[in-house]
């Protein structure tokens, strides 16, 4: 007759130890995954805002030569604007209806604040409890030349987005996006 072999206390403790190590190893991955998800969402917000701004500028520039000259000569700087933003609620203009999440810096062409918020209603820079993402976007153009033709033929629009805006500028993540724009009305 065979005897029934039961587990002894040492075997049970070893099995529980192996399970505990496995569970702890998996639990360590949750904060890493959460941080990666947050970073990916912020990069998506930044890329979307830069894409909107650059293509809006492209559209408005290509309407006619006057619009091209307005953007190139007065609306955008020819060099990258550098600004240390300290106050997030004052000194900013109101968001245009086309871009309710992009606020221009008053008196500083090419500098914008981007916000993404939770909830409904009219967006505002002072809704800090609901803001998920806040970034600073610098937009400028660079002249391009093709066979000696000047900037009225083509320009490169650049948008640098750095986030989170609450950190000092040296500690922010920065990404630069570029878009080359050709003037279809150059010869008209």
What would the pLDDT profile of 10-49 be if each residue is shown by its tens digit? 888 999 999 999 999 999 989 988 888 888 888 998 998 8
In a domain, 154, yes or no: yes
In a domain, 86, yes or no: yes
In a domain, 103, yes or no: yes
Q: Which domain holds residue 60?
A: 10-182
Cis amide prior to 177 (ω within 30 degrees): no
Q: What was the pLDDT predicted at 159?
A: 92
List, in sequence order, every beta strand (DSSP E) within 86-130.
102-104, 111-117
Average pLDDT (1-11) is 79
Q: In Å, how far are 62, 92, 132, 140, 141 from 170, measured between CA atoms?
A: 36, 22, 21, 20, 23
In a domain, 177, yes or no: yes
Confidence category of residue 69, pLDDT binned at 50, 70, 90 = confident
What would the pLDDT profile of 87-145 be if each residue is shown by its tens digit? 666 777 777 766 777 888 888 888 888 888 776 666 666 665 577 888 888 889 888 76
3-state secondary structure (DSSP) of residue 186: coil
Q: What was the pLDDT predicted at 21?
A: 93
Q: What was the pLDDT predicted at 53?
A: 86
Q: What was the pLDDT predicted at 145?
A: 67
Distance of alpha carbon 149 from alpha carbon 65, whole angstroms = 15
Which two three-digit tokens encode residue 30?
A: 């949750």
Q: What was the pLDDT predicted at 14?
A: 92
In a domain, 2, yes or no: no
In a domain, 3, yes or no: no
In a domain, 1, yes or no: no
Let me know if 57 is exposed, middle or buried by CB neighbors in 10 A (0-12, 13-18, 19+).
buried
In a domain, 187, yes or no: no
Confidence category of residue 79, pLDDT binned at 50, 70, 90 = confident
The number of domains in the chain is 1
Q: What was the pLDDT predicted at 126?
A: 66
Q: What was the pLDDT predicted at 158?
A: 92
Distance of alpha carbon 64 from alpha carbon 18, whole angstroms = 71
């Amino acid at each position: 007759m065979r005897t029934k072999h039961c587990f002894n206390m040492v075997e049970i403790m070893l099995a529980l130890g192996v399970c505990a190590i496995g569970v702890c190893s998996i639990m360590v991955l949750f904060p890493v995954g959460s941080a990666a998800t947050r970073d990916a969402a912020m990069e998506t917000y930044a890329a979307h805002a830069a894409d909107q701004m650059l293509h809006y500028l492209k559209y408005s520039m290509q309407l006619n030569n006057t619009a091209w000259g307005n953007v190139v000569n007065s609306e955008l700087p020819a060099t990258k604007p550098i600004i240390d933003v300290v106050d997030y609620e004052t000194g900013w203009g109101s968001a245009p209806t086309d871009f309710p999440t992009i606020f221009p810096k008053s008196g500083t062409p090419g500098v914008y604040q981007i916000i993404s918020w939770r909830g409904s209603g009219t967006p505002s820079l002072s809704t800090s409890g609901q803001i998920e993402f806040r970034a600073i976007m610098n937009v400028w153009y660079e002249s391009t030349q093709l066979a000696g033709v000047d900037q009225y033929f083509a320009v490169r629009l650049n948008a640098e987005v750095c986030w989170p805006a609450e950190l000092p500028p040296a500690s922010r993540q920065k990404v630069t996006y570029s878009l080359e724009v050709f003037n279809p009305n150059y010869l008209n």
